[in-house]
Amino acid sequence: MSTDTIANTSTVTRPTSGLSAPDAAVKALASGDATLDRIAEITLSSVVLPLKNPISDAKVLTGRQKPMTEVVFLFVELRTEQGHEGIGFSYSKRAGGPAQFAHAQEIAPVLIGEDPNDIGKIWTKLVWAGASVGRSGVATQAIAAIDIALWDLKAKRANLPLAKLIGASRDSVQTYNTSGGFLHTPIGEVIENAAASLANGIGGIKLKVGQPDWRKDIARVTAVREFLGDDVPLMVDANQQWDRPTAQRMGRIFEQFNLVWIEEPLDAYDAEGHAQLARSLDTSIATGEMLASVGEHLRLIEAGSVDILQPDAPRIGGITQFLKLAGLAEHHNLQLAPHFAMEIHLHLAAVYPLQTWVEHFDWLDPLFDEHLETRDGRMHLSGRPGLGFTLSDQARAWTVGTVTVTK
């Protein structure tokens, strides 16, 4: 897969232009430019994270997908002439990883020489570089990894956690665990996982449902609710596997469990079906993780499809696009529960002014040297600048392709 594997991707922190940041600021003013720093180098890496067990949600039990055995990441590491650095990532499940990596390689050269502070301008430039393959999906997800690295770089330059750079509403976000409640996991183990999550300071538990035999769903939700008691937040996620009548019927049955939300009851693009459910059920409706652009989310918002929006920054083009969508969601008084990638979404959930949740998955833990703190039902921002993560030796060992783009 790799066209240019480099032996050593260790980072450079020393300014390479010979200018300190204050010197550069003085020179920039003298030259008439606002800032002088420029993007000098981009390293793209494809990293395959193996999962401990094959993962099954309802899409597997209905025969639409095979159990998931790995997640493929596109990591982007940026370096500037002044020695500032940023790291970002996108990901794909089952298919699409090599396509994201390939698209990033094609568009990355347009970054060289750009001022890394000009994130909006760069996002547009990257979209135009690959305009014929569209403004959603794989192309946008390749851009997302670059965009996230630019935001990480900007926050590191300011020596601030990303949430603080953008403007935080809080320093911690209520969190719930997903990785313990998949459908391949026997119910006894699901309950053990839930107990472990609560003992680790995680506040809520999400359970996968949507099996062809709906009675099994009810039995599992009943068992977990009995174990948790009435006060622990509990959610269910059908991963798009119900049709409209089934979703309506299951939603009515599930009202008795006092769920925080029912997630993806219908096809991700069925805005009207979700709107009907949201109107008819007391339980909140949550969806949005599968959508691949702000425009696709806008359709859900305008149709009144959701109470809780679940965007995924790597899937919709990065932090720049996520912030635009968050503005729309706030304007419509929606709650926000970003999907997956808590390492990015903790910051974005901390910024969102209204009710918000962050999804706890332990899958990505081996990729990074740092780990997030959960306590009292909440996930806490660290004081580390940027996203607050560095790639682990294990992530380097799982790297299957690396390309570096320079001037």
Q: Is 125 annotated as a binding residue?
A: no
To which residue do tokens 């008819």 refer?
A: 280
Can you name the residues that pair with 93 across neighbouring β-strands?
71
CA end-to-end distance (rounded Å), the chain: 23
**CA dist., res. 19 & res. 36, Å (int):** 10
**CA dist., res. 275 & res. 306, Å (int):** 7
**CA dist., res. 108 & res. 100, Å (int):** 12
Confirm whether 208 is a catalytic residue: yes
Catalytic, out of 103, 154, 156, 208:
208
What Rg value do the Cα atoms of the chain yield, rounded?
Answer: 21
> Would you state the structure tokens that stand for residue 233, as one six-digit string?
């937040």
Q: Which is nearer to Mg ion, 217 or 237 (CB)?
A: 237
Q: Which is nearer to Mg ion, 81 or 237 (CB)?
A: 237
Least distance from Mg ion to the Cβ atom of residue 284, Å: 14
Can you name the residues that pair with 263 across neighbouring β-strands?
237, 286
Confirm whether 184 is a catalytic residue: no
Q: Which is nearer to Mg ion, 105 or 305 (CB)?
A: 305
Q: Which is nearer to Mg ion, 149 or 325 (CB)?
A: 325
Residue facing Mg ion at closest CB distance: 237
Least distance from Mg ion to the Cβ atom of residue 339, Å: 6
- Which of residues 147, 237, 270, 359 is near Mg ion by CB under 5 A? 237
The stretch near Mg ion (CB under 5 A) out of 63-71, 120-128, 234-242, 274-282 is 234-242
Q: Is 121 annotated as a binding residue?
A: no
Provide the 8-state DSSP code for 377. B
Q: Which is nearer to Mg ion, 165 or 235 (CB)?
A: 235
Q: Is 192 annotated as a binding residue?
A: no
> Would you state the structure tokens that stand for residue 46, as one six-digit string?
């494809």
Using CB under 5 A as the binding rule, whether residue 312 contacts Mg ion is answered as no
**CA dist., res. 108 & res. 234, Å (int):** 42
**CA dist., res. 185 & res. 337, Å (int):** 24
Q: Is 168 annotated as a binding residue?
A: no
Q: Is 200 annotated as a binding residue?
A: no
Binding characters for Mg ion, 112-151, by CB under 5 A (x = yes): ----------------------------------------
> Would you state the structure tokens that stand for residue 91, as one six-digit string?
């990901």
Q: Is 94 annotated as a binding residue?
A: yes
Residues 6+ apart with CB under 8 A from 111: 39, 42, 78, 122, 126, 146, 405
Give binding residues for substrate as ranges. 57-59, 93-94, 206, 239, 359
Give binding residues as ranges. 57-59, 93-94, 206, 237, 239, 263, 289, 359
The set of catalytic residues is 208, 339
Residues that bind Mg ion (CB under 5 A): 237
